[in-house]
Amino acid sequence: MAVRVKEGISFDTPGGAQVNLRRGQLFPDDHPYVKGREELFEPADDAASRSAGGSGAAVETATAAPGVRRAVTRRRNDEGEV
């Protein structure tokens, strides 16, 4: 299974090289960068469902579907004029 970096992290490898991982990078869950740092990663499926609105968040489209009209509400001023 693939995992995703939650937040940007930096660490040194046993060989002395510095590794910088950016938020959102994907790795297999058995990758050496993941081993021992599992709390810094999340399953990629969770991140994908969250970005697709799977967490229950309403997703609004920017335009109406073909053949559908959108309602427009006009604001009225204090005197009731549009």
Mean pLDDT by groups of 10 residues along the chain of 82 residues:
92 92 93 92 76 57 74 75 64
What is the model's pLDDT at position 48? 63
Phi/psi-derived region of residue 36, left when phi > 0, alpha when psi is between -120 and 50, beta in every other case = left
Nearest partner of 25 among 40, 14, 12, 15, judged by Cα: 40
d(CA 54, CA 44) in angstroms, rounded, equals 13
pLDDT value of position 74: 77
Structure confidence at residue 54 (pLDDT) = 52
Does this model's pTM top 0.95? My answer is no
**Strand, helix or coil for residue 38:** helix
Which residues does residue 55 pair with via DSSP β-bridges, in sequence order?
none
